[in-house]
Structure 1
């Protein structure tokens, strides 16, 4: 399958009006027809990752699935990833930082333990953002399917079904889904939650900066990044122009 249109052919504002009411599977199908073999998807093998992995591979069984392995994921995540990769026969592309965890800690210390946003941002760029950017470039991606939901963070509330980031189109099939929609899909297709869900986790990333949700937490993202921030940077605008475009489209 080859890409059917050039990036210059796409009018984001007009397309978002068209794509807004498509259901998740229809949007994935539109993405497959529009971008062909330049379409990829990402996964974190997080709490609800089985939804997107199943949804997308029903349409594109061989789509490249990018997994950024920070080297600090919980043991349960690695086992969950192995289980889903085998069950869904994923075309998994694993990317990691060029700097090993041991080397990073020797040169920069335990960045997640310094209780400031700058240190966390440095950590996230090295272990997540740079490997993802490298993956997209090496795989020749022109479009990227991501399982973001508007209820997760304030930034994600501003997104459309189709967006741009760092020159790449992003499609958000389940952007408008709520937790009940996720539950219904998992149940209907006999898919598992991440095993840490049973221990009270509603979102999970690295072992050192994820914890179960408590009654005092205002929202689920308070359980990540020591409560210092909502986003790791993978899904944030990479240029001022992108940020301005996003802000204007959400007015």
Structure 2
């Protein structure tokens, strides 16, 4: 996929609905599409879109073990409601083991330690999942409004960390549009979500940033 192709696809898809974008992505994958999730707010939208087109699409979820109880209940509710083909990947070390050896989760004040936490507890299991599932197309819930780094992406982008075509069907969707979709389709939301690998909403955990692949290489 050349930069010219990526540019052309983004121009063509900008006027399409999220469902039409998902149909395009899954057709392009030739049976090797996945959708990833962390069950954060509004993730139900992308999961519903993907399963409408391909009911058995693999759903890659890294369960790093630090999710709050509400997030785990939300995950089980969506698994049952949408019949998710959930592929959960766990870190090679448990949260209790990690905390006993290294202490509390690092804060953004210690960026190096936070990147190492991300690499061990989130990026390594995600990379393992991507290798085993071997997708050619990776459908994500990325949205332009989420943080400054993501505003530089687009609906379609090549992913250098995992060697896939990354497709974000709700990239240009607003919170109001996401809320309307949830209401229309009777889908739940989850607001008690916290990602310890990010520590705040303006930081990237490494999945969609160039430093992610380098960090996993040190694990």
TM-score between the two structures when normalised by the length of structure 2: 0.88
Distance 1:193 1:78 in 2: 12
Q: Which residue of 1 is the match for residue 209 of structure 2?
A: 236
Q: Which residue of 2 is the match for residue 101 of structure 1?
A: 95
Identify which of 21, 25, 28 aligns with 1:34. Answer: 28
Report the alpha carbon displacement of residue 56 of structure 1 after superposing the two structures with TM.
Answer: 1.1
Q: Which residue of 2 is the match for residue 244 of structure 1?
A: none
Report the alpha carbon displacement of residue 91 of structure 1 after superposing the two structures with TM.
Answer: 0.3
1:179 and 2:168 aligned: no
- Given that 2:26 and 2:137 are in contact with CA atoms closer than 8 Å, whether structure 1 keeps it comes out as no
1:58 and 2:56 aligned: no
Distance 1:171 1:226 in 2: 24
Report the alpha carbon displacement of residue 114 of structure 1 after superposing the two structures with TM.
Answer: 8.1
**Residues 113 and 155 of structure 1, relative CA distance in 2, 3 Å threshold:** closer
Distance 1:12 1:238 in 2: 22
**Residues 93 and 54 of structure 1, relative CA distance in 2, 3 Å threshold:** same
1:13 and 2:7 aligned: yes
1:152-193, Cα deviation, whole Å (9 max, x unpaired): 100111111111112111000000000110111011111111
Larger RCO, structures 1/2 (Cα 8 Å, 6+ apart): 2
Report the alpha carbon displacement of residue 113 of structure 1 after superposing the two structures with TM.
Answer: 5.2
Distance 2:42 2:122 in 1: 19
- Given that 2:36 and 2:61 are in contact with CA atoms closer than 8 Å, whether structure 1 keeps it comes out as yes
Distance 1:110 1:235 in 2: 25
1:94-136, Cα deviation, whole Å (9 max, x unpaired): 0011112122223322232584111111111111111111111
Q: Which residue of 1 is the match for residue 194 of structure 2?
A: 205
1:153 and 2:143 aligned: no
Aligned residues between the structures: 211
- Structure number with bigger Rg: 1
Distance 2:28 2:155 in 1: 14
Q: Which runs of 4+ in 1 moved over 4 A?
A: none
**Residues 226 and 176 of structure 1, relative CA distance in 2, 3 Å threshold:** closer
- Structure 1 gaps, min length 5: 1-6, 211-223, 241-251
Distance 2:107 2:167 in 1: 34
1:225 and 2:214 aligned: no
Distance 1:133 1:152 in 2: 23
TM-score between the two structures when normalised by the length of structure 1: 0.77
Distance 2:206 2:142 in 1: 13
Distance 2:155 2:71 in 1: 28
- Given that 2:28 and 2:137 are in contact with CA atoms closer than 8 Å, whether structure 1 keeps it comes out as no
Distance 2:6 2:41 in 1: 30
